[in-house]
């Protein structure tokens, strides 16, 4: 078959044998068709701007938008606005653009890149599904068995224990469903999630993510590329949309494109490393004919003499898989794969079956030169296991605002208003430069009529000094001739211009266009907190910020789409890495020992197929609603504090609300059971209390009777003891009385004896005294002495001194 390879050739016919598609001529026609669509300048048909040098149009458009996003847009158009016939000699302005767009760009990009998410892998292959089903059925049996055990315990009155009670304490099918979504993970799913995270970290996906998110906001399209090679394993590369080419599509996710590629600026050294089979003659030809300056652009747009622009592309087509089904003598059938040209005549012992599958071809071509560097069928194609006849492109592209090949971006909405802001800023500089300070008017004739009276003249210099220092003016209402003086106020202040009014007008214009940017983008003041209203409530500010987030939600969804598709491609390429020892060992080293054993199951992708989704952390508004529900449940004591802690750790708001409802129902059921148990316990306690009271009464009466008996016996014993004691005391008293009487009698007898003795002694004394007195009286009479006083001792003395 003859294949055209002219510069303006169309895409080749796809209804050709696979051997033709594998030929280099077929690849050349595909490459030249792509080059003709994107790098040839011809007109006509729908989407002419898309095909009229589409690469250069996109390159220049994206370059301009990126300059705006950096605050470095060209200022020539502003000069053309202010220049008069191209003359700027009378303008001395700062032409540097006002960086107003970078602020809004950083708000959106930083807000999106800080959005946390978890990669979740769900095994959906038959084996994993059977494991999950068996696990769920076992839990259902446990729930049913637990109910039966409770009934048996109530009937028998004994505690029963089974294996179900040793496992999860699930009480209802709703709890089972929530458990399967939140807690249940198969080992292969855990290994797959860890594998995806490690590959993303190895490729520094956070930096790539920030770059394509910035592209989504700036130029409205973002792209990454997943690839695999034996040396590095799975790789994730950033793709600059300005260097991309792709087939026409109206799908924002570019899932229906049949070719896609990118232009890379490759040095001759790297070209030789990538394609070592190039001969010296071919390298000399490439060095001599690099292409023209339309393709070769470096950072400043100049022709680059040292590099070559290479178009790397992928082309999707289809091939027929043909099998020969042969019937063996024993009645079995044997399938043999054959080329797609196999078309034998019908026979009894074999038949031909076929199916069409999508395949991916990779190519590389020097732009501007008819030299193909590579054209081959891709060896590692990413095919979804749900439909192995389809193939996925390695490029993951998303343009949420795509329509008829036209891409709209957030920055593009702001450019016109940013231009007006820049013009307003330049006009403001121009007004400030032309403002004249306020001056004074001096009437010389009025000064001449003033006489200060001190012999000095009132000249202008002295009048101005007095005015500026004191604010006072000396003047005369009448002239020296007595006429009215028209210059009676010789100094008057001049209002030179109305510059402040112009400045205020320009500032209002500046604020108007700034507000227009906020209106067309949805990035209000509450989003960045630059100028919050002091009178606005916190709830209203959060509502305004939430509305701003809604305005840019399509960008967030585009970012999540690219991330999820990247993770899906990583999952499909794991089998390629596990087939080679080097990449297999690298993957095993990146996983923990617990999950390495699960990697053995990933080798056969027929057994394991994963559904990848991103669990995004809820935003502040969703968290606030959940927290309100939690606080209401806590205040009404419908959940416990431990339940609130578990609920706050769930990132999925829907599952969190489901768990909240289940925990509330469970808590209510437990409270009812606890209340019933309390009622039963209270009734049992009352019965026991009554029984104890009756028993206590009997015991009380017995104790009273026993105590009374003991008291009476004690009284009797005490009476007997008292009587015995009384007898003993009386006996002792009688004995003591007898002894006392005896002693008294003896004392009386002794006293009587002493009395009688004393009587006799006194009698003898009286007798002697009477004899003495008589003797003295006799001596008195004899000697006629004075009378004798016998009552004193003088008488005795006298008696002693009387002569004998």
Instruction: Map tokens 């297999």 to a residue.
Output: 584
Last residue of a domain, which of 442, 467, 493? 493
Inside any domain, residue 99: no
In total, the chain counts a number of residues equal to 804
State the Cα–Cα distance between residues 782 and 452, nearest whole angstrom.
169
Is 650's pLDDT higher than 70? yes
pLDDT at 172: 66
- For the chain, the first-to-last Cα distance in angstroms comes to 212
Give the H/E segment covering residue 472.
none
Mean of all residue pLDDT scores within the chain: 77
CA distance 634 to 631: 5
Strand partners, 360: 316
Nearest Cα residue to 461 out of 496, 490, 494, 495: 490
Q: Quick check: 333 pLDDT over 80?
A: no
Q: Of 508, 430, 433, 510, which is closest to residue 98 (Cα–Cα)?
A: 510
pLDDT (0 to 100) of residue 700: 84
**C-beta of residue 284 within 8 angstroms of C-beta of residue 271:** no
What are the structure tokens assigned to 137, written together? 């059925």
Whether pLDDT at 784 is above 80: no
Name every residue whose Cβ is closer than 8 Å to that of residue 287 and which is 6 or more positions away in sequence: 268
Q: State the pLDDT at residue 600.
A: 58
Given this model, what pLDDT does residue 324 score? 77
Neighbours of 447 (CB within 10 A): 20
What is the phi/psi pair of residue 224, to 5°? -135, 165
- DSSP three-state, residue 453: coil
How far apart CA 154 and CA 152 sit, in angstroms, is 5
> CA 158, CA 153: separation in Å to the nearest integer?
5
Mean pLDDT, rounded, for 323-352: 74
Residues 137, 173: Cα–Cα separation, whole Å: 11
pLDDT range class, residue 610, cuts 50, 70, 90: confident
Of 150-159, 392-401, 679-688, 721-730, which has the strongest mean pLDDT? Answer: 392-401
Question: In this model, does residue 768 exceed pLDDT 60?
Answer: yes
Does 330 score more than 90 pLDDT? no
At residue 804, the pLDDT reads 42
Average pLDDT over residues 461-482: 78
In contact, 478 and 484? CB cutoff 8 Å: yes
Q: Could you give the C-alpha distances from 137 to 132, 140, 141, 175, 422, in angstroms and in order?
A: 9, 5, 6, 13, 68
Strand ranges (E), 147-229: 222-229
Evaluate whether 163 touches 211 at the Cβ level (below 8 Å): no
The pLDDT assigned to 214 comes to: 94
Angle between helices 187-202 and 581-590 (to 10 degrees): 100
pLDDT digits (tens, 9 = 90+) for 406-454: 899 999 999 999 999 999 998 888 888 777 777 777 777 777 767 776 6
Q: Which runs of E-coded beta strand occur in 595-735?
A: 610-616
Choosing from 462, 493, 524, the residue where a domain stops is 493
pLDDT band at 619 (very low <50, low <70, confident <90, very high): low
Q: How many domains is the chain partitioned into structurally?
A: 2
Beta-carbon count within 10 A of 784 CB: 7
> Does the pLDDT of residue 203 top 70, yes or no?
yes
Flag whether pLDDT at 215 surpasses 90.
yes
pLDDT at 56 over 70: yes
Report, in this order, helix, strand and coil percent for the chain, each rounded to 5. 55, 15, 30
Buried b (16+ CB within 10 A) or exposed e, 312-335: bbbbbbbbebbbeeeeeeeeeeee
Most confident of the following: 17-21, 119-123, 613-617, 656-660? 17-21
Which segments of 221-278 are extended strands (E)?
Answer: 222-229, 233-238, 244-246, 259-267
Note the pLDDT of residue 285.
80
Helix (H, G, I), strand (E, B) or coil at 397: strand
Q: What are phi and psi of 612, to 5 degrees?
A: -105, 130
Identify the band that residue 654 occupies on the pLDDT scale cut at 50, 70 and 90. Answer: confident
Reported as a pLDDT band with limits 50, 70 and 90, residue 688 is confident
Whether 589 has a pLDDT exceeding 90, the answer reads no
Residue 18 placed within a domain: no
Distances (CA, A) of 309 to 60, 64, 303, 485, 520: 17, 22, 11, 88, 38
Alpha carbon distance 669, 646 (integer Å): 19
Could you tell me which residues come within 8 angstroms of residue 265 by beta carbon, excluding any fewer than 6 positions away?
296, 298, 304, 307, 308, 309
Q: Which of 51-55, 78-82, 417-421, 566-570 has the highest mean pLDDT?
A: 417-421
Phi, psi of 84 (to 5 degrees): -110, 110
Q: What are 521-563's pLDDT values in tens digits?
A: 888 776 665 554 444 444 444 444 444 567 788 888 899 899 9
Within a domain: 472: yes
Q: 15, exposed or middle or buried, with CB in 10 Å at 0-12, 13-18, 19+? A: exposed
Instruction: Provide the pLDDT for residue 170.
Output: 64
CB 265 within 8 A of CB 287: no
pLDDT of residue 593: 52
Q: Which residues pair with 614 in a beta bridge?
A: 119
Asked if residue 74 belongs to a domain, the reply is: no
C-alpha pair distances (Å), 734 with each of 619, 740, 744, 747, 748: 112, 9, 15, 19, 20
Where is pLDDT greater, at 91 or 597? 91
Within-domain flag for 360: no
Three-class SS of residue 58?
Answer: helix
Distance CA 387, CA 572 (A): 13
pLDDT the model gives residue 236: 92
Region 726-746: mean pLDDT is 84
| Domain housing 678 | 653-801
Between CA 580 and CA 117 the distance in angstroms is 31
Is 734 contained in some domain? yes
Tell me which of 587 and 114 has the higher pLDDT: 114
pLDDT, tens digit (0-9, with 9 covering 90-100), for 495-522: 666 677 888 888 999 999 998 988 888 8
Domain C-terminal end among 438, 460, 493: 493
User: If we measure between CA atoms, which residue out of 731, 30, 712, 791 comes closest to residue 361?
Assistant: 30
- Is residue 216 situated within a structural domain? no
468 found inside a domain:
yes
Mean pLDDT is highest, among 465-474, 477-486, 644-653, 684-693, for 684-693
Distance CA 139, CA 160 (A): 19
- Greater model confidence, 292 or 283: 283
Confidence class for position 779, pLDDT limits 50, 70, 90: confident
The helix (run of H) or strand (run of E) holding residue 42 is none
Quote the CA–CA distance of 532 and 363 in Å, as a whole number. Answer: 55
Q: What is the pLDDT of residue 548?
A: 52
Question: What per-residue confidence (pLDDT) applies to 216?
Answer: 94
CA distance 513 to 413: 12
Q: Inter-axis angle of helices 620-635 and 538-551, to 10 degrees? A: 140
Q: What is the pLDDT of residue 541?
A: 43
Q: What is the CA radius of gyration of the chain?
A: 60
Residue 609, pLDDT score: 67
Bigger pLDDT: 614 vs 732? 732
Give residue 289's pLDDT band: very low, low, confident or very high (50, 70, 90): low
Task: With 0.75 as the threshold, say if the pTM is over it.
Answer: no
């Amino acid at each position: 078959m003859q294949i055209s390879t002219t510069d303006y050739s169309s895409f080749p016919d796809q209804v050709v044998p696979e051997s033709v598609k594998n030929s280099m001529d077929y690849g050349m026609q595909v490459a030249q068709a792509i080059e003709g669509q994107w790098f040839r300048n011809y007109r006509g048909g729908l989407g002419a701007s898309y095909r009229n040098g589409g690469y250069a149009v996109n390159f220049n458009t994206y370059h301009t938008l990126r300059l705006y996003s950096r605050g470095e847009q060209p200022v020539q158009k502003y000069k053309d606005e202010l220049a008069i016939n191209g003359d700027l000699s009378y303008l001395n302005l700062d032409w540097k653009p006002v960086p107003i767009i970078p602020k809004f760009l950083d708000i959106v990009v930083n807000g999106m890149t800080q959005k946390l998410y978890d990669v979740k892998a769900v095994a959906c292959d038959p084996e994993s599904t059977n494991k999950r089903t068996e696990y769920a059925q076992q839990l259902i049996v446990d729930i049913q068995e637990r109910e039966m055990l409770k009934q048996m315990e109530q009937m028998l009155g004994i505690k029963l224990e089974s294996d179900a009670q040793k496992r999860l304490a699930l009480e209802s099918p709703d709890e089972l469903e929530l458990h399967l979504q939140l807690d249940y993970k198969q080992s292969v799913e855990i290994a797959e999630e860890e594998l995806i995270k490690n590959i993303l970290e190895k490729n520094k996906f956070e930096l790539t993510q920030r770059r394509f998110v910035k592209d989504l906001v700036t130029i409205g399209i973002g792209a990454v590329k997943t690839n695999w090679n034996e040396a590095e394993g799975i790789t994730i590369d950033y793709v600059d949309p300005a260097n991309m080419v792709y087939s026409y599509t109206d799908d924002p996710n570019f899932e229906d494109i049949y070719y896609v590629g990118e232009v890379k600026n490759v040095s001759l050294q790297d070209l030789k490393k990538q394609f070592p089979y190039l001969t010296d003659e071919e390298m000399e030809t490439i060095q001599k004919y690099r292409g023209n300056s339309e393709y070769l652009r470096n950072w400043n747009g100049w022709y680059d003499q040292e590099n070559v622009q290479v178009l790397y592309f992928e082309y999707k087509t289809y091939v027929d898989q043909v099998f020969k089904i042969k019937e063996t003598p024993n009645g079995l059938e044997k399938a043999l794969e054959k080329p797609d040209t196999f078309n034998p005549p019908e026979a009894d012992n074999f038949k031909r079956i076929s199916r069409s599958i999508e395949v991916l071809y990779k190519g590389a071509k020097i732009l501007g030169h008819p030299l193909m560097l590579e054209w081959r069928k891709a060896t590692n194609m990413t095919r979804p296991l749900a439909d192995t006849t389809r193939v996925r492109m390695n490029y993951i592209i998303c343009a949420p605002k795509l329509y008829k090949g036209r891409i709209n971006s957030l920055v593009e909405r702001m450019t016109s208003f940013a231009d007006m802001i820049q013009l307003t800023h330049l006009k403001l500089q121009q007004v400030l430069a032309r403002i004249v300070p306020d001056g004074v008017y001096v009437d010389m004739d009025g000064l001449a009529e003033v006489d200060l009276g001190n012999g000095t003249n009132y000249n202008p210099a002295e009048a101005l000094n007095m005015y500026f220092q004191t604010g006072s003016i000396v003047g005369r209402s009448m002239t020296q001739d007595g006429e009215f003086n028209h210059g009676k106020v010789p100094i008057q202040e001049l209002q030179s211009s109305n510059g402040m009014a112009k400045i205020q007008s320009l500032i209002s214009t500046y604020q108007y266009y700034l507000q227009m940017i906020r209106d067309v983008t949805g990035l209000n003041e509450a989003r960045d907190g630059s100028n919050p209203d002091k009178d606005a409530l916190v709830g209203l500010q959060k509502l305004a910020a939430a509305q701003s987030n809604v305005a840019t939600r399509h960008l967030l969804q585009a970012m999540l789409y690219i991330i999820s598709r990247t993770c899906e491609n990583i999952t499909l390429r794991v089998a390629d890495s596990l087939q080679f020892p080097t990449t297999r060992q690298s993957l095993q080293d990146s996983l923990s020992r617990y999950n390495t054993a699960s990697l053995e199951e990933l080798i056969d992708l027929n057994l394991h197929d994963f559904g990848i989704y991103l669990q995004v952390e809820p935003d502040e508004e969703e968290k606030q609603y959940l927290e309100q529900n939690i606080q209401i449940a806590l205040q009404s004591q419908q959940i416990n504090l431990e339940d609130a802690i578990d609920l706050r750790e769930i990132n999925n708001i829907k599952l969190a609300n489901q768990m909240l409802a289940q925990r509330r129902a469970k808590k209510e059921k437990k409270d009812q059971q606890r209340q019933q148990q309390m009622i039963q316990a209270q009734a049992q306690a009352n019965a026991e209390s009554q029984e104890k009271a009756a028993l206590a009464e009997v015991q009380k009466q017995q104790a009273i009777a026993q105590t009374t008996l003991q008291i009476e016996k004690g009284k009797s014993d005490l009476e007997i003891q008292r009587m015995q004691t009384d007898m003993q005391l009386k006996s002792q008293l009688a004995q003591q009385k007898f002894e006392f009487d005896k002693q008294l009698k003896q004392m009386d007898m002794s006293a009587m004896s002493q009395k009688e003795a004393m009587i006799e002694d006194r009698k003898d004394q009286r007798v002697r005294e009477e004899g003495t007195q008589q003797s003295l009286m006799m001596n008195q009479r004899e000697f006629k002495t004075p009378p004798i006083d016998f009552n004193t001792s003088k008488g005795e003395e006298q008696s002693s001194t009387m002569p004998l």
